[in-house]
Structure 1
Amino acid sequence: MIFAIEEINNSTELLPGIKLGYQIHDTCASVLVAAHAAFQLINGQDPVFHKGSNCSRSGLVMGVVGDSSSSASISISRIIGSFNVPLVSFFATCACLSDKQQFPTFFRTIPSDQFQADALAKLVKHFGWTWIGAVRSDSDYGNYGMASFLAAAQREGICVEYSVSLLRTDPLSRIQRVADVIRRSTAMVVVAFTASGDLMALLEVLARDPPPPRQWVGSEGWITDPYLMRYSFCAGAIGVAIQRSVIPGLRDFLLDLSPTEVAASSVLTEFWEDAFNCTLQKNAAPQNRECDGSEDLKMLKSPYTDTSQLRITNMVYKAVYAMAHAIHNAMCQPNNFTTKCEKDIKLELKQVLPQLQKVNFSRNGYPVSFDANGDSVAFYELVNWQKSESGVIELVTVGYYDASLPKGNEFHISRNITWMHGGTQVPVSVCSESCPTGSRKVLQKGKPICCYDCIPCPEGEISNMTDSPDCSPCPRELWPNAQRDACFPKPVEFLSYDEVLAIILAAFSVSGACLAIITAAIFFHHRTTPIVRANNSELSFLLLFSLTLCFLCSLTFIGAPSDWSCMLRHTAFGITFVLCISCVLGKTVVVLMAFKATLPGSNAMKWFGPPQQRMTVVLFTFIQVLICTVWLLLSPPYPMKNVSTYKEKIILECALGSAVGFWAVLGYIGLLAVFCFVLAVLARKLPDNFNEAKLITFSMLIFCAVWLTFIPAYVSSPGKFTVAVEIFAILASSFGLILCIFAPKCLIILFQPEKNCKRSLLDKTKYKE
């Protein structure tokens, strides 16, 4: 402060011709002492105006530079603020001092703790620490600063395991309790918002036993203190610090101390005796060496002579210049190329305060200005305690935080950081490990939000980022992968020709068609034999033709459904089966009519000859064609993607369109089959050699059994197996018809030709009772 005032008094640009005076008061880090000093300053105002003396006005305080403590600054500002005396602090960082209603005359060249709290929260978040401990000074600086930090940490999603406070004047037992809390905690990171002396008292206690391995994160209150760097277990500490600066000429000023100046100041005397381990008092005690004048400050290695780490010092320097600029702007006016100051005017405090709010200048490359709250622009260095090769802890700047930059770009790291125990890997401090993709967080009951369990996403849902609070469902046609971190198209399933089941069914279908064709060829070759002629050869050939179509129509059910295949498979199946049953029905009626025609006086065959048989088959088939046509016109079957039967895959199938149409087709087939079955049962007792009623009865029994069991199987079978059940029903009923009706005849034709004659057919003429 003295150096800055002497610079100003020797300046020809700032307050030319006017000298600034000063008083220095020591608050002794005590609020009571600070209040006493503030009253001394206010009560010492002298109303006398001395025109001829060196001072333009004797004893009038234009402003106060100080204090370093937030609590003391609050006390001083409340006292002198009532008299409009401005207070410019260089180290009082409490965010509460930004309240202009309570502290209208308070200004500071150091940033508010609100900025520091945001910077520390972003720093902790940057390294992924979500589970931390908090230690603070039990003062306005620590309490308000930690409150701001905790609020910023909560916004960043950081949880605090414990928050404890202490003062260096606390009983040892209380400091010990704070140390025990740190030892027992699971958080590896400790954020300390403390004054240097308070933290030193805590570190002394921690150092007694093997200190716990902790990563310390510090506020500017202690992170640059060289005295704390002797605690080697704190190596790797990281924190925000006031920007390091250079003040030209300060080192030479500090070293230019004469013994007379030292002896005249009690503060300098105490410093001198402590630095050189001697006493300036004459006739001192024998155990104390008397200073002999050979002491050389230039050879002294102490924080006093070290101007390489000027941080708070520069804040004092800027505060003095801010006051000087405010007084200059109130007293001086530019005149052509010079500045003229009115020395004889009586400067009022109400003139200085508005000018202090407006100051905006730069000194040695460091800008100075105040916002509406009296705060300066926040700029912090990110510093790290790194051990040198000699084992000494050094303060290394590894980045910065600039609050004037756009949001998200304030924080920057430019060098490698050394962590606790000299490690190069960022320590891990979390309550729970991060939940991987494919899972979600579930909070643990009664614990902070950073303590959670990781639960795999439920079926059909994914999470594609770590620590996801929720899982999101995949769209209807997508399904999660095995890791449940991405959605992929569901596999489309249908009865494909590539599958073994489809190949087997297709083989049976073709085999059945070939069997029907071979049977037709056998019958055609032996069409003149009695057994073929006796069993209505015309209807037999038509039945074999319809059975061939029945076998082949099952092939339309295999493969990917399309508009045409969906319409073809159901209608072709319905029409061919009605044609088939109509033929069987015709053969059954012919058997009954043929028997009745043998009775005396009966002319039954006249009413059911070949023309009537053809008309019956055509009529029954036409009705089915009509039902299918109406079905196709009103609501035909269509291909659809079934995503409801299976969640993990899509079933490509044919929707019925109209369920009424489908069941009408099946019902009509069933009606004809039942009617045919009843007639066959009625004719079953006729002489075996004269009819095939027994064979028709058995074939219709198989047919009806197959289709009765088909209905529940069709309804309950999932996916492509629905189609397989339908194909199986078609093939089973078709094989039942061809084997029951034609297999015995082919057996006689091929292997028992002696039975294929009229005498064998007419051998039995009695009715069965």
Structure 2
Amino acid sequence: MPSNLFQNIALIQLIGRFNWTWVGMLVVDNDVGQQGAQIIRAGIERNGGCVAFLEKIHLSYSAQQIKRVVDVIKGSSISLIVLHSPEVHVKALLDAMFDDGITEKMFITSASFIITPGLFSKKAWKVLNGTIGLVASTTSMPGFEEFLLNLHPNASLTYPFIRLFWEKAFSCHWPDGKLDGVACTGQEGLGSEIAQLFETNDLSLTYQAYLAVYAYTHALHSLLGCPTVSEGYLNHGMCSNINDAQPWKVPISICSNSCRPGYRKVPLQGRPICCYNCVPCSMGEMTNYTDADECTRCSSDQWSNEERDRCIPRVLEFLSYDEPLGIMLVIMAVMLSVLTVCILIVFFKNQDTPIIKATNRELSYILLVSLIFCFLCCLVFIGQPSTFSCLLRQTFFSVAFSISISSVLAKTIMVILAFKATRLNSPLRKWLGPTIPRKVVGLCSMFQITICSVWLHRSPPFPMLNSETDSHKIIFECNEGQKLFFYMTLGFMGFLAMVSFLVAFLARNLPGSFNEAKLITFSMLVFCSVWISFIPAYLSTSGKYTVAVQIFAILASSAGLLSCIFLPKCYIILLRPEENSREFLSSSKKRIHFG
């Protein structure tokens, strides 16, 4: 007989062939059923199917146990039941299923389930309607029918049961002192009775036994008659030893199953060394062979896959010009830079008009040029980091922003000085020239440049591959060196912004034409709000999103300065030119206070 493993594999392949992915299982309650159930279930799940239930059955089960199994079948939505059991164990279950109205389930049976006439009731036949089963293959056995025809009681010494068989087959008895009934004569013929007596129309089981006996006898014959290398079983060029022959399959006895790739062995405390548990490798580790004692850590540029059985390359991540986020930020930076250039051209062409003269055109030019650099410095943050770009990023940004904010501070100071110097004989009149604005912008810029110079000398930024932040990625980023210098530059810009905001807030209600104090107050409020929000966002993100957050803060704060300070002036210059005149400004009925 073939091993049960073959028919289990055949059941798995048959279920997969018809794409049955939702099945139930009934197995006989013994070792064979348990082993078969494990193999069949694993094969079904490996092929993508699911087992809704797995129930045991046995002819010794009580009515209550059978009723429980029937309830499980009835409560399931499956249409196919895998039946791995001899037929004798399911007779009562089939009758109970019919009584409970379960007749539309389809069965697929193993070869151990034999449809024997007269064994099942009519109820069971209705439940079994449509069943598909495995049957062992069979063919003719040379000389078998001749052997049966030659059976005779005279050969009783060779076949001791032939006399009993003869009595049953021909309903007679041998004359050994019994006088009742028909006596056997030995002349009865088997020719017409062979098919009925020996069921030669179905010799599947007999044929499997025939194959097993012939295989074993041929093996023994080869072992016993192996005088040369060319005959019999070979073992490294020699005849095998007949004493090594194993008539039956020796069962495997192990304490623990082998650990598959992706797992490592962990010895069980207090148990022999062959007893262990299999635990999966940690993230970033792998094993590609069975029964590994330790997992191997992947290299820094690789990471383990989900199965932990091989290392795969990590994804290299940085904010590039090719991805949507990088493209969007580039477009925004370029558009805002072009807008700033256009405003600078408008101011240059209208530099002799009252509104531009009244708002200190030299500081306006400096502020506009520094804002152009603020927008353009965002482009240095995008793309693959290099030594040059890492050195330029924060320093370029810090210096450009310091010039912008110091220009705003100088504008605010000049608004206050202009108002105070309107009195006759005021000593502040001598400070109304370009000296103070230039000194404020120059000193603030030089202080920021000094911080950046010390930063570049003591701990310059450099490109690095960060594999610690994200397990599946390698982040290509700029290491800022000592974070102290980065926060010092931000702190200095924040200090300038707060001073500008406070001074502008105090001067917001001063009288005078084209008073920019309210506009500067609002622009500094926007600026401070953006950068206060930037700090927690910067600390809570990683990788390319950290860079994107800083770029967004640069664009948002610079755009706030540009729109709050310059767009109202452009509105008057381009759309309301009649208000850009000395007569309109000196009119007592219309005095313009921007903001």
TM range (shorter): 0.5 to 0.7
For 1:439 and 1:653, the matched residues in 2 are separated by: 34
Q: 1:591·1:691 contact (CA, 8 Å) conserved in 2? A: yes
Compute the displacement of 1:508 (Å): 1.0
Of 596, 617, 629, which residue of structure 1 is paired with 2:420? 596
Identity across the alignment (%):
48
Letter in 2 for 1:533: K
For 1:419 and 1:528, the matched residues in 2 are separated by: 114
1:565 corresponds in structure 2 to 389
For 2:584 and 2:247, the matched residues in 1 are separated by: 111
For 1:564 and 1:469, the matched residues in 2 are separated by: 47
Compute the displacement of 1:658 (Å): 2.2
For 1:628 and 1:445, the matched residues in 2 are separated by: 60
Q: Secondary structure at the match of 2:220?
A: strand
Of 379, 386, 394, which residue of structure 1 is paired with 2:220? 394
Distance 1:413 1:601, change over 3 A: farther
Task: Say yes or no: does 1:611 pair with 2:435.
Answer: yes
Following superposition of structure 1 onto structure 2, how do residues 140-289 of structure 1 map, counting pairs within 5 Å? none
Q: 1:436·1:466 contact (CA, 8 Å) conserved in 2? A: yes
Compute the displacement of 1:461 (Å): 1.3
Compute the displacement of 1:429 (Å): 6.7
1:648 corresponds in structure 2 to 472
Distance 1:414 1:715, change over 3 A: farther
1:530 corresponds in structure 2 to 354
Distance 1:624 1:414, change over 3 A: farther
2:279 corresponds in structure 1 to 455
Q: 1:549·1:576 contact (CA, 8 Å) conserved in 2? A: yes
Q: Secondary structure at the match of 2:566?
A: helix
The alignment yields a C-alpha RMSD, in angstroms, of: 3.8
Q: 2:516·2:565 contact (CA, 8 Å) conserved in 1? A: yes
Q: Secondary structure at the match of 1:660?
A: helix
Q: 1:495·1:720 contact (CA, 8 Å) conserved in 2? A: yes
Q: Deviations over 1:627-658 (max 9, x none)?
A: 11111112111112222212222211111212
Q: Secondary structure at the match of 1:650?
A: strand
Q: Secondary structure at the match of 1:492?
A: strand
Compute the displacement of 1:767 (Å): 9.9
Task: Say yes or no: does 1:518 pair with 2:342.
Answer: yes
For 1:600 and 1:635, the matched residues in 2 are separated by: 54
Letter in 2 for 1:581: I
1:499 corresponds in structure 2 to 323
1:665 corresponds in structure 2 to 489
Q: 1:520·1:541 contact (CA, 8 Å) conserved in 2? A: yes
Of 464, 478, 484, which residue of structure 1 is paired with 2:302? 478
Distance 1:685 1:419, change over 3 A: farther
Q: 2:410·2:436 contact (CA, 8 Å) conserved in 1? A: no
Q: 1:386·1:393 contact (CA, 8 Å) conserved in 2? A: no
Q: 1:386·1:394 contact (CA, 8 Å) conserved in 2? A: no
Q: 1:637·1:657 contact (CA, 8 Å) conserved in 2? A: yes
Distance 1:491 1:415, change over 3 A: farther
Following superposition of structure 1 onto structure 2, how do residues 615-764 of structure 1 map, counting pairs within 5 Å? 615-687=439-511, 689-763=513-587, 764=590
Higher relative contact order (CA 8 A, sep 6+): 1
For 1:414 and 1:762, the matched residues in 2 are separated by: 123
For 1:415 and 1:629, the matched residues in 2 are separated by: 87
1:545 corresponds in structure 2 to 369
Q: Secondary structure at the match of 2:261?
A: coil
Structure 1 residue runs without a partner (length 5+): 1-181, 187-384, 401-410
Q: 1:578·1:624 contact (CA, 8 Å) conserved in 2? A: yes
* Paired residues, number: 379
Compute the displacement of 1:612 (Å): 3.0
Distance 1:674 1:413, change over 3 A: farther
For 2:238 and 2:576, the matched residues in 1 are separated by: 104
Compute the displacement of 1:465 (Å): 0.7
Q: Secondary structure at the match of 1:626?
A: helix
For 2:237 and 2:285, the matched residues in 1 are separated by: 38
Compute the displacement of 1:413 (Å): 7.7
2:176 corresponds in structure 1 to none
Distance 1:740 1:475, change over 3 A: same
For 2:270 and 2:529, the matched residues in 1 are separated by: 65
Letter in 2 for 1:571: T
Q: 1:581·1:673 contact (CA, 8 Å) conserved in 2? A: yes
Compute the displacement of 1:476 (Å): 3.2
Distance 1:471 1:758, change over 3 A: same
Compute the displacement of 1:608 (Å): 3.6
Distance 1:414 1:714, change over 3 A: farther
Q: Secondary structure at the match of 1:689?
A: coil
Distance 1:674 1:388, change over 3 A: same
For 1:613 and 1:574, the matched residues in 2 are separated by: 20
For 1:389 and 1:478, the matched residues in 2 are separated by: 53
Letter in 1 for 2:521: T
Task: Say yes or no: does 1:488 pair with 2:312.
Answer: yes
Compute the displacement of 1:518 (Å): 0.9
For 1:636 and 1:677, the matched residues in 2 are separated by: 32
For 1:447 and 1:463, the matched residues in 2 are separated by: 24
Compute the displacement of 1:480 (Å): 1.1
For 1:415 and 1:491, the matched residues in 2 are separated by: 58
Distance 1:605 1:430, change over 3 A: farther
Q: 2:374·2:558 contact (CA, 8 Å) conserved in 1? A: yes
Distance 1:428 1:529, change over 3 A: farther
Q: 2:419·2:512 contact (CA, 8 Å) conserved in 1? A: no
Q: Secondary structure at the match of 1:539?
A: helix
For 1:537 and 1:767, the matched residues in 2 are separated by: 18
Distance 1:753 1:431, change over 3 A: same
1:466 corresponds in structure 2 to 290
Q: Deviations over 1:97-133 (max 9, x none)?
A: xxxxxxxxxxxxxxxxxxxxxxxxxxxxxxxxxxxxx
For 2:428 and 2:245, the matched residues in 1 are separated by: 111
- Structure 1 window deviating more from structure 2 (434-443 vs 619-628): it is 434-443
Distance 1:387 1:673, change over 3 A: same
Structure 2 residue runs without a partner (length 5+): 1-30, 36-210, 227-234
For 2:34 and 2:307, the matched residues in 1 are separated by: 35
For 2:463 and 2:371, the matched residues in 1 are separated by: 27
TM-score, structure 1 as length reference: 0.45
Compute the displacement of 1:610 (Å): 1.3
Q: Deviations over 1:422-455 (max 9, x none)?
A: 99xx997766554331223456788766565543
